[in-house]
Amino acid sequence: MAQQALEAQLPPVPSPAGTSSAPPERRARALRHSYGALDLGTNNCRLLIARPTEEGFTVIDAFSRVVRLGEGLAASGRISDEAQDRAVAALAVCADKLRRRRVSLSRSVTTEACRRAVNGRQFVERVRNETGIALEIIAPEEEARLAMLGCHRLLEPGEGPALIFDIGGGSTELVLVDADGTETPRIKCWWSAPWGVVSLTESEGRNFAGADERLAAYGRMKERVRHAFRRFAELLPTERENIRLLGTSGTVTTLASVHLALPCYDRRAVDGLLVPAESMREVNTALSRMSLEERSRLPCIGSERADLVVAGCAILEAIMDMWPAKTLGVADRGIREGILRALMARDGHPL
């Protein structure tokens, strides 16, 4: 089981004394620096390289590849040799980009697959030896904090509590925040559930004889997730006026693309989108009834996500049942952006 936390206050964003009033010359030097953020998840390997600006930062290079690091992990308890090879190949590309862009400060993190695998630390050592990248296996609370830090600016305007979530490959992180108009919301509590799109898909398998079997499997997945969320649900405020919901993950961006019927993925159309909750439920229902081949033919899903997207739908629907906001905010930003903002804050740039 993934680590879980109850009514826990997350650690503050690392920021040295005097950051808010950093000398102008220090900030000027930082504007010329390149920063790197690498997130090796259970399903994807993603890199962002950026330079700070007065308004935030500008991305100068990026990389993303599906590596399925956690494939087969639930059954074996280990990261397979094949999954390691895929991840190391992707990380070698990242290492080359970090060198060529002369990144002055970077952080590379890995999450649930390495937390759970008995050979997770051996894999991290292999990565260091073969690519030079020093992966940090972060705890669930740090994963939740970075995701919140990376996307909270897209919260729907208003007062009242907000729930931010990140559906990963091996786990789902939930953060209840009090967004009272301050620059960075105050985290009230968080939760990490051991179900992500890879682990939940592998709990049911991928091949079903027909629509009835697919719907039955979808129902069982939703129940597993609801059970995993049940204690967190008890922490949520009973007053449900003006609540807001924001998701950051490949699941919500993919489903938003399906909702918009995009011919291909377009970050500009998706990042910051507000989708009526009922419209998202309709997308979930439609996808849960489709065969693998039918989902593969949808341009914003394709063969890489077709087998995993239904598990994402089940997790999302369980979240919307638990926190019934009228709209769902969609963020194509998260852990990497959170890392970048924290790194830049050390050099005097506001979060």
Which tens digit of pLDDT belongs to each residue from 84-119? 999 999 999 999 999 999 998 999 999 999 999 999
- Asked whether residue 117 falls in the same domain as residue 254, the answer is no
- Asked whether residue 188 falls in the same domain as residue 295, the answer is yes
Residue 25 within a domain: no
Confidence of residue 346 (pLDDT cuts 50, 70, 90): confident
Domain boundary among 138, 173, 198: 138
- Asked whether residue 281 falls in the same domain as residue 215, the answer is yes
Residues 227-247, mean pLDDT to the nearest whole number: 92
Residues 328-333, mean pLDDT to the nearest whole number: 97
Residues 234-243, mean pLDDT to the nearest whole number: 88
Confidence of residue 29 (pLDDT cuts 50, 70, 90): low
pLDDT at 269 over 80: yes
- Asked whether residue 113 falls in the same domain as residue 205, the answer is no
Q: Which pLDDT score is estimated for 28? A: 55
**Percent above pLDDT 70 for the chain:** 89
- Asked whether residue 276 falls in the same domain as residue 186, the answer is yes
User: Residue 315 gets which letter from DSSP?
Assistant: H
- Asked whether residue 257 falls in the same domain as residue 163, the answer is yes
Confidence of residue 21 (pLDDT cuts 50, 70, 90): very low
Q: Which pLDDT score is estimated for 30? A: 53
In which element (H, E) is residue 317 found? Answer: helix 309-322
CATH classification of the domain holding 116: 3.30.420.40
Residues 68-75, mean pLDDT to the nearest whole number: 93
pLDDT at 8 over 50: no
Q: 8 burial class (0-12, 13-18, 19+ CB within 10 angstroms)?
A: middle
- Asked whether residue 207 falls in the same domain as residue 272, the answer is yes
Phi-psi region of 138 (alpha: psi -120 to 50; beta: other; left: phi over 0): beta
Residue 16 within a domain: no
Tell me which residue range forms the domain holding 296.
151-334
- Asked whether residue 178 falls in the same domain as residue 312, the answer is yes
pLDDT at 162 over 60: yes
Q: Which pLDDT score is estimated for 26? A: 55
Whole-prediction pTM value?
Answer: 0.87
Q: How far is CA 166 from the centre of its chain?
A: 4
**Percent above pLDDT 90 for the chain:** 77
- Asked whether residue 164 falls in the same domain as residue 70, the answer is no
Residue 344 within a domain: no
Domain count, the chain: 2
Which residues lie closer than 8 Å to 175 by C-beta, 6 or more apart? 10, 144, 145, 147, 148, 163, 164, 165, 187, 189, 190
Residue 213 within a domain: yes
Weakest-pLDDT range from 51-60, 116-125, 250-259, 275-284 = 51-60
pLDDT at 239 over 90: no
Higher local confidence (pLDDT), 76 or 26? 76
Weakest-pLDDT range from 23-37, 62-76, 119-133, 157-171 = 23-37
Q: Which pLDDT score is estimated for 16? A: 33
What confidence tens digit (pLDDT) does each residue in 169-197 have? Answer: 999 999 999 876 667 888 999 999 999 99
Residue 255 within a domain: yes
Tell me the Cα Rg of the chain: 20
Residues 314-321, mean pLDDT to the nearest whole number: 97
- Asked whether residue 259 falls in the same domain as residue 316, the answer is yes
- Asked whether residue 210 falls in the same domain as residue 105, the answer is no
In which element (H, E) is residue 251 found? Answer: helix 250-260
Residue 340 within a domain: no
- Asked whether residue 282 falls in the same domain as residue 193, the answer is yes
Domain boundary among 138, 168, 190: 138
Residue 280 within a domain: yes
Residue 43 within a domain: yes
CATH classification of the domain holding 261: 3.30.420.150
